[in-house]
Amino acid sequence: MPRIMDKDVLNTESGIRNKKRILLYPMTFTPALRDYIWGGRNLERLYGRPLPPGPAAESWEISAHPAGSTVVDAGPLQGYALPDVFATYGAELVGRRAAWALQRGRFPLLVKLLDAEKRLSVQVHPPDEYALQHENGELGKTEMWYVLHAQPDARIILGLRRGVTRVDFLRAIAENRLEEVLHSLPVKPGDAVLITPGTVHAALEGLVINEVLQNSDTTYRVYDWGRVGADGRPRPLHVEKALDVLDFCNVEPGVLPQPILEDQEGVVRQHVVHSRHFVVEKITLATYGVWRGETNGETLEMWGCIAGEASLEWPAGSVPLPAVRYCLVPAAPCRFVIRAVQSPAVLLRIYLPSEEG
């Protein structure tokens, strides 16, 4: 895909020569779908998403990863992939807090929806240092899961049971009984968990999850419940690498508390997670409630409506945000408002942390 041009931007052999660039604006995207064996059709059933035939395991909502980049679906930049927008605008898009990402030429974050109709494999993600050394410069993966939908008695795997050692773990793999040493955690809609590098984890069946993570697709599969892939063969495991990074001290973690940070005038703001890679807050708007926001060059903001319906408005336009849809507000200075439409709305707000925070 060519980089961004309008009638005042010339594409030359030496690259793009800007005379007058398109001004950045809040952007929505066409999701990129992934069809793993554990997926279902709950994004269609629950949220009215149009899907191609077959399972839709993952919907990458905002992504500049080469394995599945999203494309701007409206406005002057319609039709351009997020990596091209990032390559052209850089800090104007992601903000000064993303200096490390700009140095690497990598968009900092990725937002997904997971439809775990069946259980996922048990897996571990590496930290940045290990991934950069062993995965051809790929980043590690810190991620947060926010549960959108859960069948009764739904559970996830998160961490190890108390007292489990490396020897216990290896023996359980060899004897095909790994689940006996894993910590199983019940979850319900509205629960959130932080999955740090080295944490063994898996989403079990009957869940739809909103995932916020580093811009990475690095996963080490440890255990796959004895099943086979679409080709009839067991899917590859990555036990040796997983053991290199597995955190045996992460024992029986729980769901995250979500303390209230603000409660006034029809707006409830809650803290969900603060990691070195991203901050996630939950904003609940009463019917016709309004959030007034502003970016100032420090960080982009990603807003996803996860319940109800909202609209995001700025001086030059607006976009509807039904559940579940995301909008990227660039870091370049912009004042905007988010309004709940006809009924209460719940949104996730994602941004980059400051060095101090």
Sign of CA dihedral 112, 63, 109, 142: positive
100 closest CA partner among 303, 301, 277:
277
Instruction: Quote the CA–CA distance of 168 and 180 in Å, as a whole number.
Output: 10
> Phi, psi (5° rounding) for residue 75?
85, -175
Enumerate the β-bridge partners of residue 10. Answer: 17
Q: Which residues contact 23 (CB under 8 A, 6 or more apart)?
A: 76
Active-site option among 49, 97, 155, 221: 221
Is residue 214 within 8 Å of 110, Cβ to Cβ? yes
Is 221 in the active site?
yes
Tokens 């990863």 found at: 65
Count the Cβ atoms, other than its own, within 10 Å of residue 294: 11
Q: Which residues contact 171 (CB under 8 A, 6 or more apart)?
A: none
List active site positions: 221
